[in-house]
Amino acid sequence: MPVVTLPDGSQRHFDRPVTVDEVAASIGPGLRKAALAGRVDGKLVDTSYVISRDANVAIVTDKDPEGLEIIRHSTAHLLAHAVKELFPDAQVTIGPVIEDGFYYDFSYKRPFTPEDLAAIEAKMQELAKADLRVERRVMPRDEAVKFFKSLGEHYKAEIIAGIPEGEEISLYGQGNWVDLCRGPHVPSTGKLKVFKLTKLAGAYWRGDSRNEMLQRIYGTAWADKKQLDDYLKRLEEAEKRDHRRIGRELDLFHMQEEAPGAVFWHPKGWTVFQTLIGYMRDRLRQTGYQEVNAPELMDASLWEQSGHLEKFGENMFLTRTPDERVYAIKPMNCPGHVQIFKQGLRSYRDLPLRFAEFGKCHRYEPSGALHGLMRVRAFTQDDAHIFLTEDQITEETIAVTRLLLDTYKDFGFDDVIVKFADRPEKRVGSDEVWDRAEAALKEAARAAGIEYTYNPGEGAFYGPKLEFVLRDAIGRDWQCGTLQVDFNLPGRLGAYYIDEHSQKRTPVMLHRAIFGSLERFFAILLEHHAGKLPAWLAPVQAVVLTITDRQNDYARNVTETLKNQGFRVECDLRNEKVGFKIREHTLQRVPYLLVVGDKEVAANLLSVRTRGGKDLGAMSVETFRERLAVEVESRGRRTLED
C-alpha cells in the first residue's frame, strides 16, 4: 500500500504497487506524456519502475537537467540501434553523455563515411518515429557475458566481464536490439525528437593508445528545436571568435607549412605580443623578480641530469653539431635558471631568489596535437623559478597566487578556478619527498585562501602543482597559470646554498608561469574579446580619418601629436568615402575612429566614434589624449565610454 509523496509535499495513496508511469498518470495525462523517468527517493529510475513502498517521487521531464541527460543517453542508444540496423556486423562498445550531447564508439571493418552518417541519422529518425517501447530487464552477470558473446558483441562482453561477479546486469531493449546499460532510459523512442549527428572521429578502445582504434560518432540532442538552434548558434559564435581566423583577418600572424607549429608574427601581432611582455616586466619589477636569459641550446647531458631527456626525449629537438656534440634546444627554462643560481656561492640570506625569463622554448609536439597558437612547437613562456627554503614556501605561494589572480583581472578574467595536481605515475624522487612537497603546497594553498579541486595524477614529474584555469567570455575554460613545488630538480642539478650554520643545503624551487605560453595566452585573449582587444592592448588604438583631402595636413598633425605621446595611431587619407573607411577600420577592430572634416579643422576638434558604433561627439585632441591615457592606464577597466 505505497504512499507517494510528491515534490510539492502532497501525498497520494495507492492500494497496490504502482509504476512511475501510473503515478504520473494519476497527476494528469499531460504529465504522463511528458514523463521521461522518475526520481524515487533520490534515485533516477525508468517510468516502468515499480514503487511498492512509501516513497518520495518526482516525475522527470525534459524540463529537468536530468531529463535532458536521459534524452541524450537514450539518443546514444538510438544511434547504436540505427548503426546495428544498417551495419549488422558492427560491434557496439560504449556511448556516454557528454557536454551538449553524446557519442557512441563502434568497431567496424571499414571506416564510416559522412554519407553513412547521413544514412544513420535518417535511420534514427525512422526508429524514433516508430515510437518503439524501451524495455528493461535484468540478467545475472555470467549469463549476460554469454548472451553478448552469442551476439558477437565481444567488447560488450568484455565490459560486463569486468563487473563484479554475482551482480545483476540490466539490459535495455528497443525493437529487436538490446544493449547493456545502467539506465534509466526514456520509455519509448518517440520521446527523442531533436537530435543531430555532428562528427566522426577515431578513439582508442578504453582510451589507451596501445589499443585498437574504434570509430566514434558524436551527436547532440535537446529537449526542443529552439535549444538545438541556440546550441548551433553558440558553435557559430565560437567559430567567429577562432583566433586563427581573427589572426588572419587582422593581419596579426601567420603559420606556414615549412614551419609547422611555429608562428610568423606580423607587425600588428608583434605589437600586442610586446605589450604583453612589457606589462609583465612591470609586474616583475613590482614583485621582486630579476629577469635573466639562458641559452636556447645546451648540451644534452644537462637534460639527462634533469631527467627531461628520459621522460620527454621523444618530444625534444636535438641537434648534432660538426664537433660531434649533441645539443638539445630547450623545452623549458628551469635547468638554465639552476645554472645561473649555481654561479657563485649562494647564502640563505639571498633567498628567496626569483629568476624570471621570457624564454623561447621548443617542444616536438605530436603532429596531431598542433592547433593554431593554442598548441605550438615554438613558444614563449613567462617563466620564473624561485629558489627558497622549505619554510618560505607558504609565504611565497601567497605572493605568487596574488600576482596571478591580479594579473588575470587586468585582462578581464575574473573567473578563475584552481586545481591541485598531485604525483603522476612517472616521476622522479622518493615517495617521502613527494609527501612533503604535496603537504607543503596544500598548506600554502590553504594559507593563501585558495579553494581548489583535485586533478589526481596530473602533477609534473618533479613535483605537485596548482593549475589556474580561466573562464572566458563564452564560458570556456583555459588552463594558463601554474605553480609547482619542486624538491627534486635543484638536487639533481647540484644546486645548493649555505645556511646559517655554514652547511650546504639544497634549495626548494617553485616553478611558476602566469600567461603560460604567451602564444596561447594571446589566442585566448583574441577569442575572449572576439578580436576587440581593449585599447591598451590593441595594435592600433585609433585611426584618424579624413572626409576630403582638404583635411590632410590637420589629420597628419593630429596623428603625429598622438604618436609622440606614445599612442599607436594611424591616419587614413585615402580618397574614399567616410562610410567606407569606417567600415574597414571597424572590421579591423580599431577601438577609436577619429573623423576630421572641415568643421573639425575649423574648431580644432576630433569627432570620436567607437568600434561599437557609438558616437562620442566632438572633442579636442587634448581631451581625447587624456581620456585614452586614462583608459590605457586602467588596463581597460575604464573606457572612454564610461
Show which residues are catalytic: 334, 363, 381, 383, 385, 465, 511
CB of 83 to RNA, least distance (A): 15
Nearer to RNA, 277 or 578 (CB): 578
Q: Give the span between the Cα atoms of 222 and 231, in whole angstroms.
A: 9
Residues 313-342 within binding reach of RNA (CB under 7 A): 315-316, 331-332, 334
CB distance 272 to 522 below 8 Å: yes
Cβ-contact 154, 108 below 8 angstroms: no
Chain-centroid distance, C-alpha 442? 24
Contact 355, 382 (CB under 8 A): no
Question: 610, 616 in Cβ contact below 8 A?
Answer: yes
Q: Which is nearer to RNA, 22 or 458 (CB)?
A: 458
Q: Exactly one of 193, 375, 385, 512 binds RNA (CB under 7 A); which one? A: 375
Residue from 308, 346, 505, 627 touching RNA (CB under 7 A): that is: 308
Task: Count residues near RNA (CB under 7 A).
Answer: 70
Does the CA dihedral 309-314-315-316 come out positive or negative?
positive
- The contacts of residue 479 (CB under 8 Å, 6+ apart) are 419, 467, 468, 469, 470, 516
Check if the beta carbon of residue 177 is closer than 8 Å to that of residue 84: yes
Interface residue with RNA, options 280, 607, 621, 632 (CB under 7 A): 607
Give yes or no for residue 115 binding RNA (CB under 7 A). Answer: no
Residue selected from 406, 615, 622, 641 as contacting RNA according to rule CB under 7 A = 615
Please report, as a single letter, which amino acid is at residue 158.
E
Residue 298 interacts with RNA (CB under 7 A)?
A: no
Please choose, from the candidates 525, 408, 510, 415, the residue with its C-alpha nearest in 3D space to the C-alpha of residue 466: 510
What distance in Å separates the CA atoms of residue 5 and residue 44, rounded to the nearest whole number?
16
CB of 47 to RNA, least distance (A): 32
The window from 76-84, 143-151, 340-348, 359-367 that contacts RNA (CB under 7 A) reads: 359-367
Residue whose C-alpha is closest to residue 474's, from 230, 153, 198: 230
Binding track over 165-194 against RNA, x by CB under 7 A: ------------------------------
Q: Does 372 bind RNA (CB under 7 A)?
A: yes
The beta strand positions in 28-73, using DSSP E, are 37-40, 43-45, 50-51, 55-60
Select the residue interacting with RNA from 64, 188, 576, 639 (CB under 7 A). 576
CA distance 131 to 116: 23
Among 28, 96, 114, 152, binds RNA (CB under 7 A): 114
Q: What is the DSSP secondary-structure string of 279-343?
A: HHHHHHHHTT-EE----SEEEHHHHHHHTHHHHHGGGS-EEE-TTS-EEEE-S-SHHHHHHHHHS
**59 vs 38: CA distance, rounded Å:** 5
Counting contacts by CB under 7 A, is residue 363 touching RNA?
yes
Q: Which is nearer to RNA, 505 or 627 (CB)?
A: 627
Cα→Cα distances 13→9, 19, 20, 526, Å: 13, 13, 13, 60
Q: Which is nearer to RNA, 183 or 219 (CB)?
A: 219
Give the residue, chosen from 17, 30, 111, 278, that forms a contact with RNA under the rule CB under 7 A. 111
Of residues 207 through 266, those in contact with RNA by CB under 7 A are 207-209, 213, 215-216, 218, 244, 248, 255, 257, 260-261
Which residues contact residue 593 at a Cβ distance below 8 angstroms, ignoring those fewer than 6 apart? 542, 543, 545, 581, 582, 585, 586, 608, 609, 610, 611
- Which helix (H) or strand (E) segment holds residue 438: the answer is helix 431-447
Output the smallest distance, CB 362 to RNA, in A: 9
> Which of 361/393 has CB closer to RNA?
361
Residue 569: CB minimum distance to RNA, A:
16
- Under the binding rule (CB under 7 A), the answer on residue 461 touching RNA is yes
Asked if 579 interacts with RNA (CB under 7 A), we say: yes
Which one of residues 55, 58, 128, 203 is an interface residue with RNA (CB under 7 A)? Answer: 203
CA angle 157, 161, 162 (to 5 degrees): 125
* Residue owning grid cell 583566433: 243
Closest CA to 434 of 459, 397, 452, 456: 459
CA angle 478, 481, 484 (to 5 degrees): 130
Closest CB to RNA among residues 1, 603: 603
* Closer residue to RNA in complex, CB, 132/619: 619
* Residue 559 interacting with RNA (CB under 7 A): no
Check residue 520 for interaction with RNA (CB under 7 A). no
In the list 368, 391, 432, 504, the residue contacting RNA (rule: CB under 7 A) is: 368
Per CB under 7 A, the segment of 143-151, 155-163, 198-206, 622-630 that binds RNA is: 198-206
Residues that bind RNA (CB under 7 A): 111, 113-114, 199-204, 207-209, 213, 215-216, 218, 244, 248, 255, 257, 260-261, 308, 312, 315-316, 331-332, 334, 363-372, 375, 424, 460-461, 484, 511, 547-550, 575-580, 582-583, 586-587, 593, 595, 597-600, 607, 609, 611, 613, 615
